[in-house]
Amino acid sequence: MKIYLNGQFVDSADAAISVFDHGLLYGDGVFEGIRLYGGNVFRLEEHLERLEYSARAIMLDIPHTRAELSEIVCETCRQNGLTDAYIRLVVTRGVGDLGLAPWTCPKPSVFVIASKISLYPQEYYDNGLAIVTVPTRRIGPAALPPTVKSLNYLNNILGKIEARQFGALEAIMLNEQGYVAECTADNIFIVHKGELITPAISHGALKGITRDAVLDIAEELKVPLRDSSMTRYDVWCADECFLTGSGAEVVPVIALDGRRIGDGKPGPITREVLASFRRRVLVEGTRI
Ligand code: PXG
């Protein structure tokens, strides 16, 4: 496997980052998780824009233009002969002194991994996931805006550990006010009386690229749409529920906290959104 690392393509065994890189020492950096489908990078421009916004938020100057980053991502896929892949694009603060001060890091590190991804097994797309609400709250905007896709994922990792302790693969994280924010690595949607509802970004969610794609799909399918506040009650009493993310794509949820959602099977709108998403990814995107 060839990895792009600071201007070069190197073998994965040689793709090493310094122990003085602040990405490692402090989680000081930003990243994107992107998908390649049938030789097309899905919504690459949107991913690169989000990366730029994340970098701006943490005052990190990405040493590349958007066009350069786009080419680096595509070339990494070509170098590995991939047509379907998960792409991890990372920009760290770079090598610096011990101590938080980011100004001791003169040069950000940039690397891209393009590899196979292990999706949820097909049975979850067919039968749905049972998820739980975890005690760890999604970090609030007053601490670190959850819209920043930073290398510091400990908040979500604590949520993921708790999910596993409850025997679930994914979990709802509430915001500090107790409203549903999102899951540990996915956005959440419910369907109630024919309406599609997702928590507003201001409730502590990442502005997911897949979430945006589903909002477009809902418009195309003429499903009424709302982004608003959402409580666990809304999910317990929903007719349908699904999660979205670059890794998960669109995955049905059939139970929350031991309460069955709808009839306990993936619902018709969920199935339609999933089918539409799978069609879209094959035709939309940047040809590598
Ligand atoms: N919320 C959080 C906290 C995320 O990390 C999403 C929502 C969905 O966003 P996108 O843009 O992907 O629709 C994410 C994305 C992984 C992995 O390695 C994680 C994500 C995406 C792909 C892979 O577990 N998180």
Burial of 111 (0-12, 13-18, 19+ CB in 10 A): buried
Note the pLDDT of residue 26. Answer: 98
Looking up tokens 């709250």 gives 137
Element of type H or E holding 9: strand 8-11
Confidence of residue 218 (pLDDT cuts 50, 70, 90): very high
Ligand 1 atom nearest to CA at 213: 13
Residue 104 Cα to ligand 1 midpoint, Å, equals 30
Nearest CA to ligand 1 atom 22: 247
Q: What is the mean pLDDT of residues 121-148?
A: 96
Note the pLDDT of residue 58. Answer: 98
User: In 10 A of CB 248, how many CB atoms?
Assistant: 21
Structure tokens at 129: 């996931």
Q: What are phi and psi of 13, to 5 degrees?
A: -65, -25
Strand partners, 255: 130, 260
Residue 271 Cα to ligand 1 midpoint, Å, equals 21
Q: What is the mean pLDDT of residues 168-173?
A: 97
Residue 124 has pLDDT above 80, yes or no: yes
CATH label, 2-115, candidates 3.30.920.30, 3.40.50.460, 3.40.190.10, 3.30.470.10: 3.30.470.10
36 vs 172: CA distance, rounded Å: 27
**Segments making up each domain of the chain, as ranges:** 2-115, 122-285
Q: Are 210 and 245 in contact (CB under 8 A)?
A: yes
Ligand 1 atom nearest to CA at 187: 7
Instruction: Report the percentage of the chain scoring pLDDT > 70.
Output: 100
Q: Are 4 and 112 in contact (CB under 8 A)?
A: yes
CATH label, 122-285, candidates 3.40.50.1220, 3.20.10.10, 3.10.350.10, 3.50.50.60: 3.20.10.10
- Does residue 107 carry a catalytic annotation? no
CA-to-CA dists, residue 157 to 55, 65, 101, 173, angstroms: 21, 31, 25, 11
* Cβ-proximal residues to 286 (8 Å cutoff; 6+ apart), any chain: 40, 41, 44, 45, 70, 74
Confidence of residue 120 (pLDDT cuts 50, 70, 90): confident
Q: Are 134 and 159 in contact (CB under 8 A)?
A: yes
Of the candidates 220, 233, 234, 187, the residue with the CA atom closest to the CA atom of residue 206? 187
Note the pLDDT of residue 184. Answer: 98
- For residue 210 and ligand 1, the question of a CB distance below 6 A is answered with yes
Q: What is the mean pLDDT of residues 205-216?
A: 98
Over residues 37-76, the pLDDT tens digits come to: 999 999 999 999 999 999 999 999 999 999 999 999 999 9
Note the pLDDT of residue 269. Answer: 98
Q: What is the mean pLDDT of residues 221-247?
A: 96
- For residue 206 and ligand 1, the question of a CB distance below 6 A is answered with yes
Residue 27 has pLDDT above 90, yes or no: yes
Note the pLDDT of residue 243. Answer: 98
106 vs 120: CA distance, rounded Å: 40
**Averaged pLDDT score across all residues of the chain:** 97
5 vs 94: CA distance, rounded Å: 12
List, in sequence order, every beta strand (DSSP E) within 194-281.
195-199, 225-228, 240-245, 249-256, 259-260
Residue 116 has pLDDT above 90, yes or no: no
Q: What is the mean pLDDT of residues 219-247?
A: 96
The residue type at 15: A
In three-state secondary structure terms, 44 is helix
Note the pLDDT of residue 119. Answer: 78
Note the pLDDT of residue 138. Answer: 97
Residue 117 has pLDDT above 90, yes or no: no
Residue 159 has pLDDT above 80, yes or no: yes
Note the pLDDT of residue 118. Answer: 73
Residue 284 Cα to ligand 1 midpoint, Å, equals 19
Upper half-sphere CA count for residue 93 (Cβ side, 13 Å)? 27
Residue 131 Cα to ligand 1 midpoint, Å, equals 17
Mutate to test the pocket of ligand 1, among 186, 198, 217, 281 (most ligand atoms within 8 A of CB): 186
- For residue 29 and ligand 1, the question of a CB distance below 6 A is answered with no
Burial of 98 (0-12, 13-18, 19+ CB in 10 A): exposed
